[in-house]
């Protein structure tokens, strides 16, 4: 039996499985090593700070994790003002000194540096807009009436999409103005109307009523709905003593600045409070501050109001002293004049004290005191 002769093929048969096993082991080990390398967290520098991230992380993952120190750029208006500090482009990122894309995968030892993102300017949008009707006054006098309603113009306006700042505007169609006729009674009769605004005000309106009663003078009171609600008995006394009860709105807002629905609410609110307290539906209206524009006129017309301003501002609200108020009221008086005073708004002792002087002085000049309604009806 010569063993070696027979052993050779035997050895060959037994060596092959070892090689196969070795290869299999190497493949499995290599695969495991590769898999381990792929799932192993990576360590890198982000803006000078060491960070550990899951394997396979990208530049965009760093952004999402808020690891970048630089902020996005600003969102700017068409005029260059900042609308939103971080509303622009995201920070710019470099990886190892080269610009990095958002989807770029990161590797161990990478050096990531961010810089502030680019600013973005909002878009411009062009649209047609109505041009507000302008009002034009004709004539002179305290009674104001609209004689032409006017038509709005049309403009093509370019604005910032976010800020609404106007960039440019081109008139497409011209409008026509609303024409307000200011007038006074035509007769040369020496009539004068005293008007008191912003009441009723306890301790003041009642004193003014006492003076008017003692002097047998009828006047006009432009009341605020809010004051009437707080002092209904005082409002009723004004009406009961024969004075003209008129509307000065609900809460003394500057009406041209309000939306039409609020303008209407202010006017109707004043009127309904007055009607409730006094039983009188006021026809005459004086806008707070005498402030009007096309919008306010549209509402006043729709409510069929008679609108009264004034000729003579006594400036009693500046508290210039009793003598000064009396002088302001009388020195430029003329037939048909409407005199503005205040029984509310603040302390009016000076107005109360000046009133008898004013009445005596004008009476001495031959004037008769009437309400606004009587003044407007005088031929
Ligand atoms: Ni007022």
Q: Which of 243, 311, 342, 343 is an active site residue?
A: 342
- pLDDT more than 70, % of the chain: 95
Q: What is the pLDDT of residue 230?
A: 98
CA of 298 to the centre of ligand 1 (A): 20
Query: Looking at the DSSP assignment, which residues form a beta bridge with residue 181?
Result: 138, 145
Contact 297, 282 (CB under 8 A): no
User: Taking 70 as the threshold, does the pLDDT of residue 129 lie above it?
Assistant: yes
CA of 323 to the centre of ligand 1 (A): 22
Q: What would the pLDDT profile of 237-281 be if each residue is shown by its tens digit?
A: 999 999 999 999 999 999 999 999 999 999 999 999 999 999 999
Confidence of residue 142 (pLDDT cuts 50, 70, 90): confident
Alpha carbons 222 and 283: distance in angstroms, whole number:
11
**Alpha helix (H) residue ranges in the chain:** 3-39, 59-64, 205-215, 225-230, 232-240, 260-278, 294-302, 322-330, 349-364, 372-377
Query: Looking at the DSSP assignment, which residues form a beta bridge with residue 112?
Result: 46, 95
User: Taking 80 as the threshold, does the pLDDT of residue 178 lie above it?
Assistant: yes
Q: Is 119 a catalytic residue?
A: no
Q: What is the pLDDT of residue 13?
A: 58
Q: What would the pLDDT profile of 83-95 be if each residue is shown by its tens digit?
A: 999 999 989 999 9
- pLDDT more than 90, % of the chain: 76
Q: What is the pLDDT of residue 30?
A: 79
Q: What would the pLDDT profile of 182-227 be if each residue is shown by its tens digit?
A: 988 776 789 999 999 999 999 999 999 999 999 999 999 999 999 9
For 110-173, the DSSP string reads -EEEEEPPPPEEPPEEEEEEEEPPPEEEEE-SSEEEEEE--B-EEEEEEEETTT--EEEEEEEE
Query: Looking at the DSSP assignment, which residues form a beta bridge with residue 135?
Result: 178
User: Taking 80 as the threshold, does the pLDDT of residue 343 lie above it?
Assistant: yes
User: Taking 70 as the threshold, does the pLDDT of residue 158 lie above it?
Assistant: yes
Q: What is the pLDDT of residue 37?
A: 67
CA of 21 to the centre of ligand 1 (A): 104
Give ion ligand 1 contacts, CB < 5 A: 197-198, 288
CA of 128 to the centre of ligand 1 (A): 37
Q: Which of 197, 198, 206, 316 is an active site residue?
A: 197
Q: Is 313 a catalytic residue?
A: no
């Amino acid at each position: 039996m010569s063993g070696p002769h027979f052993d050779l093929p035997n050895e060959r048969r037994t060596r092959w499985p070892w090689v196969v096993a070795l290869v299999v082991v190497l493949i499995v080990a290599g695969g495991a090593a590769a898999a381990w390398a792929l799932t192993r967290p990576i360590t890198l520098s982000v803006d000078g700070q060491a960070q550990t991230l899951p394997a396979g992380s990208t530049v965009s993952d760093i952004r999402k994790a808020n690891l970048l120190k630089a902020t996005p750029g600003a969102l700017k208006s068409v005029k260059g003002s900042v609308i939103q500090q971080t509303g622009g482009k995201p920070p710019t990122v470099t990886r190892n000194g080269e610009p990095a894309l958002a989807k770029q995968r990161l590797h161990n030892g990478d050096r990531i540096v961010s810089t502030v993102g680019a600013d973005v300017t909002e878009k411009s949008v062009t649209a047609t807009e109505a041009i507000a009707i302008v009002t034009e006054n004709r004539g002179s006098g305290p009674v104001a009436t609209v004689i032409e309603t006017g038509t709005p113009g049309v403009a093509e306006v370019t604005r910032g999409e976010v800020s609404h700042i106007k960039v440019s505007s081109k008139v497409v169609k011209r409008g026509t103005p609303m024409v307000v006729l200011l007038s006074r009674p035509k007769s040369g009769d020496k009539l004068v109307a005293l008007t008191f605004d912003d009441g009723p005000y306890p301790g003041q309106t009642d004193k003014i009523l006492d003076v008017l009663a003692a002097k047998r003078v009828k006047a006009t009171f432009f009341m605020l709905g809010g004051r009437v609600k707080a002092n209904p008995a005082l409002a009723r006394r004004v009406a009961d003593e024969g004075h003209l009860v008129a509307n000065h709105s609900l809460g003394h807002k500057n009406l041209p600045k309000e939306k039409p629905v609020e303008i209407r609410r202010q006017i109707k609110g004043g009127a309904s409070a007055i009607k409730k307290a006094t039983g009188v539906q006021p026809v005459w209206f004086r806008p707070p501050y005498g402030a009007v524009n096309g919008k306010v006129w549209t509402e006043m017309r729709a409510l069929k109001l008679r609108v009264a301003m004034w000729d003579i501002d006594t400036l009693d609200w500046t508290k210039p002293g009793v003598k000064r108020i009396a002088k302001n009221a009388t020195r430029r008086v003329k037939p048909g004049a409407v005199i503005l005073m205040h029984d509310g708004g603040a302390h009016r002792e000076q107005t109360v004290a000046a009133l008898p002087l004013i009445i005596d002085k004008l009476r001495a000049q031959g004037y008769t005191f009437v309400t606004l309604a009587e003044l407007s009806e005088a031929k």
